[in-house]
């Protein structure tokens, strides 16, 4: 792949794990397990082509309303990932971050998150951000509350100060959002950060989303003309 024009920051809405399992007569947990394996493939592909930031939508704040047994299963998978993947993250020089409302997460997982973030903080490679217990509206409300309690004069608030207090502070805006599973919406994912993001939708369920299709999404992005609200200047010969 020609790496001369690739997105700096890619966000992925990993949709379709449950449907993947259902169509095969498997428990939904098997879909989530396969989804974790697919995530590892895409992380590797992102590192290989030089993407700077990859944000994976792992568990939305609305997902807390799912059946209790499924929530427990997802938390167990997250716990297992945090315990077993640190060595791989270190070997790839990846900086690990979690964005979202951490107060809703089990205390043990909160500890593992802090540990993983600390251990990888001095790495210099790609930033891998997992959006867990995350919602774009919730993030904005939490940010406003944080600014208000810190004494910031909200009447003089500007975008740069606001962005510096989001979960994604120090992260570049999202250039490309990929959604698998056939739905065509962003489902409360990075709604501030993706104001000018390019969108790529595919019917492929997440467990079937290969590195090759990921590369196709990146290639599609490279064909886009990004204007950011402006009119492109005409070329005069």
Q: Which residues contact 112 (CB under 8 A, 6 or more apart)?
A: 79, 82, 83
Cβ-contact 27, 194 below 8 angstroms: no
CA distance 140 to 101: 11
Task: Determine which helix (DSSP H) or strand (DSSP E) holds 96, and give its type and residue range.
Answer: strand 95-99
Cβ-contact 203, 181 below 8 angstroms: yes
Q: Which residues contact 218 (CB under 8 A, 6 or more apart)?
A: 1, 6, 7, 10, 49, 176
Q: Mind giving me the DSSP string for 26-59?
A: --HHHHHHHHHHHHHHHHHHHHHHT-SEEEEEEE
Catalytic residue IDs: 15, 63
Give 103-110 contacts, CB < 8 A, sequence gap 24+: 104/61, 104/64, 104/133, 105/75, 105/132, 105/133, 106/75, 106/79, 108/79, 109/75, 109/78, 109/79, 109/82
């Amino acid at each position: 792949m020609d790496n001369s024009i690739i997105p700096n920051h890619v966000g992925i809405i990993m949709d379709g794990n449950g449907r993947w399992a259902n169509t095969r007569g498997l428990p939904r947990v098997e879909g989530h397990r396969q989804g974790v394996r697919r995530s590892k493939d895409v992380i590797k592909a992102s590192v290989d082509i030089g993407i700077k930031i990859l944000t994976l939508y792992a568990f939305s704040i609305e997902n807390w309303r799912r059946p209790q047994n499924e929530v427990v299963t997802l938390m167990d998978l997250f716990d297992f990932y945090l315990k077993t993947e640190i060595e791989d993250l270190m070997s790839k020089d990846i900086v690990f971050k979690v964005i979202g409302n951490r107060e809703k997460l089990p205390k043990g997982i909160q500890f593992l998150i802090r540990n993983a973030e600390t251990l990888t903080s001095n790495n210099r490679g790609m930033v891998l951000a997992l959006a867990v217990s995350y919602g774009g509206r919730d993030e904005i409300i939490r940010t406003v509350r944080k600014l208000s309690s810190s004494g910031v004069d909200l009447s003089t608030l500007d975008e740069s100060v606001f962005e510096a207090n989001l979960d994604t502070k120090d992260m570049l805006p999202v250039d490309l959002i990929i959604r698998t599973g056939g739905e065509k919406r962003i489902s409360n994912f990075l709604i501030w950060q993706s104001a000018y993001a390019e969108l790529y939708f595919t019917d492929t369920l997440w467990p079937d989303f290969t590195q090759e299709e990921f590369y196709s999404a990146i290639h599609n992005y490279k064909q886009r003309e990004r204007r950011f609200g402006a009119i492109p200047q005409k070329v005069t010969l």
